[in-house]
Amino acid sequence: MNPAVIQSNGNRRLSQMTRYTNADFADDESVNSVQLSEGLNRSTTHIRYHAGGTTVWQLRSPLEKVLLILVGILLFVVFILAIILHVTEHRLEESRMIIVPETPGKCLNKSCIQIANNILQALDTTVDPCDDFYSYSCNGWVDANPMPDAKSTWGTFMKLEQQNQLVIKRVLDRPMDTLKSKAEQKAKMYYESCLDVNDTMEARGAQPMLDLLRKIGGWNVTESGFDVDKWSLQNITQIVQNRYNIGGLFSYAVGEDDKNSTRHILQIDQSGLTLPTRDNYLNKTEEHKKILDAYLDYMTKVGVLLGGELNTTKRQMRDVIEFETKLANITTPSDLRRDEEKLYHLMKLGELQLKAPFIDWRKFFEDAMRTVNKKISNKEEVVVYAPEYLGNLTVLIKEYNKTVEGKIVLNNYMVWQTVRVFTVCLSKAFRDAYKGLRTALMGSGGGEEPQWRYCIQDTNSVLGFAIGAIFVREVFDQNSKAQAEEIINNVRNAFKNNFENLKWMDEETRKVAIDKADSISDMIGYPDFVKDTNQLDERFQNLTIRRDQYFENNIHISYFNLKKNLEKINEPVNKTTWSMSPSTVNAYYTPTKNQMVFPAGILQRPFYDAAYPPSLNYGGMGVVMGHELTHGFDDQGRQFDKHGNLKHWWKNDTVDRFKERTKCVVRQYNGYKINGKSIDGNQTLGENIADNGGLKAAYHAYLDLMQGKPEPEGLPGIPLNHRQLFFVAFAQVWCAAVTKEATALQIEKDSHSPSKYRVVGALSNLKEFAEEFRCKPGSKMNPIKKCEVW
């Protein structure tokens, strides 16, 4: 990118804006100026041009003299005020950015008019873009898109998701024989079981869960066969985690080895909390007390629905919450778990047994591997991400295992983890029991989302690739793949070109960083197998689905997913696999695969459209692509080399300078508050780095694309040039309304900053934005102190 071109464009834009605003003021101010000047000239003429003999002044009476002096003073004051008004209005007009596009032409075809209408409806031009660009870009959208009663968050992502759901519903509502594959037919059967088309869910009531409780050894809350004398933590842990794939005191999975990403390995981590964050248990504020009270009420309602006595159930559930609170106390907060190297602990299973002997680990994993006919020994290597937690958990379990009452609490806790997962598959009374807790956590209104929407979302989560085949066939434009690939390559090149401007990076690290950026693979739209009926059917061949057994369908799916995961143990890694279904409105980067994925679901308006001008496609989808690309170089992603291995591949001095720059980002976002709560700059660091780097790379990619080309035709009714429209497109992707409760939960748990500060934070660090919108140094969107990593 040539800086001279940017400067030239900036100067040309400035001169045009100045001409416009001066002419605009001239029509008004010139009239007043003439009037004032004429009055003053007359007065001064009378005074100035009678210099000899007896003057007119001397002939005036004292009263006339006083009046004339007062008139003169008044006229002078009016003159001064007029000058101040002229300057103030001129500056205000500049700050509101009333701009004539650089070309006189306007695009007036149907597509441009529709695009312009959508942008204009979202804008709030009463807000100074240099003061709050998010409000300037999104207030209109929020006003025009009231949050549905059943939602706690409502934004462009969710709105697009609901459009995608309609596409899928239309197909799943068709006759079975119109579907193209057995996998799609299973998706339809699962969807219908969720809808309860035969009313079997209501008729069966609590019975499916009561049957399950007896299978797993019973629950002390209900009459389901629990016998504490025959109980062991080993047995209940193996049943819950290895038969039903439910997280318990810890979580485990088979995944890519961080330090040898070509192989799969067992991984173990901390887990065990039902509520979203440890703060929900440990913070003693009134807000968190309401959440704990709502949680206890939810647990009690479920226990009573399953046959428990009210007071006894409540007491036992309170004991479970007390145990979870102790788990929260030994759980490491997420903002302290960002150093991948410090988290990674490779050890033999026998070593783990010495560190955390609260269960027999070899016996546990032998039990798990029987499902896939694989053997395991004490020499099996595992990666432990939370050895300190497991050590403290051993002490906690020992304390509870001493008494009968403690053992009952442990069993109640483990069974509750199973119950809470599967109660959504029971009758409406069980689903309604959760509403109070949801409201406490998310602040959603009293409305209820249509069941079909929940069921589409649920079907997509469990049979996503079958749904993906439907979605791709119905709406995905195949040309989008090639066009998206072009945008990715341009954004990648801009990202790499910027390395030369990074004075904190040494030359050797710069070269390997460029090599890593070139090595990042990109997957666009969908995996090829979803269009191959045989491959798709083979993927779900061993999954049994019945249209009148929603509860059992979910049991089968849990076991199916567990088995699929365990089958990978000690198998080589396929770095072209997808972790997200094609209809999903999202994207992701995987460090161990050095791969970024952009599903078909997000390659739509407002992120991307073939009819959009490049400014909007780069401001929307281009920034998303830049965001995922930058994740390969954020505080966590940078620790992995181009092969996806956790490795020290940067010079130490460069690492130190990188960390100094990330401290600036942490401080910046720590300073943002919503509803009196501060964003956690450490917890959101990786996403904030990606937001900033992705925005910058996409904008420079757009400038490179347009270099030497004339300014495109403007959009009707929008006095912004296309470089400014790029930033509007970026901001409007994040337009959203969020309840106070959901915002508080996001700040506590989410690794992403709230929408407003994803926009404001990144733009305020980008000098090119300030230049385009002529934001004065020191204004909110153009602070003197800026943070820059990439």
Question: Which residues participate in catalysis according to the annotation?
Answer: 628, 691
Q: How many helices (H) and strands (E) does the chain have?
A: 34, 11
Q: How far apart are CA 150 and CA 143, in angstroms?
A: 18
**What is the DSSP code string of 161-214?**
HHHHHHHHHHHHTS-GGGSSSHHHHHHHHHHHHHHTTTSHHHHHTTHHHHHHHH
Q: Closest Cα to residue 748, out of 669, 668, 677, 686?
A: 677
Residue 157 vs residues 474, 525, 603: alpha-carbon distances, Å: 20, 17, 12
Asked whether the CA dihedral 32, 35, 38, 39 is positive or negative, the reply is: negative
Q: Hey, which bits of 417-568 come out as E strands?
A: 521-525
**Bridge-partner residues for 598, per DSSP?**
524
Strand order in the sheet with 250-257: 250-257, 260-270, 381-384, 345-348
Q: Closest Cα to residue 222, out of 411, 397, 437?
A: 411
- Cis before 777 (ω within 30): no
3-state class of 270 per DSSP?
Answer: strand
Contact 508, 526 (CB under 8 A): no
In this structure, how many other beta carbons lie within 10 angstroms of the beta carbon of residue 545?
A: 24
Residue count (the chain) = 790
Q: Which amino acid is at 376?
A: I
Residue 596 vs residues 57, 460, 591, 626, 644: alpha-carbon distances, Å: 87, 21, 9, 10, 12
Q: How far apart are CA 117 and CA 100, in angstroms?
A: 18
Q: How far apart are CA 14 and CA 757, in angstroms?
A: 28
Q: Exposed (0-12), middle (13-18) or buried (19+): which is 660, by Cβ within 10 Å?
A: exposed
Q: Exposed (0-12), middle (13-18) or buried (19+): which is 403, by Cβ within 10 Å?
A: exposed
Q: How far apart are CA 127 and CA 358, in angstroms?
A: 59
Beta strands 595-599 and 521-525 are parallel
Residue 662 vs residues 497, 512, 686, 689, 757: alpha-carbon distances, Å: 21, 20, 9, 8, 17
Q: Which amino acid is at 545?
A: I
Angle at 323 (CA atoms; ends 319, 327), nearest 5 degrees: 165
Contact 686, 607 (CB under 8 A): no
Contact 724, 645 (CB under 8 A): no
Contact 254, 265 (CB under 8 A): yes
Beta strands 345-348 and 381-384 are antiparallel
Contact 99, 721 (CB under 8 A): yes
Residue 471 corresponds to which tokens in the numbers above? 């979605």
Q: Which amino acid is at 575?
A: K
Q: How far apart are CA 713 and CA 399, in angstroms?
A: 73
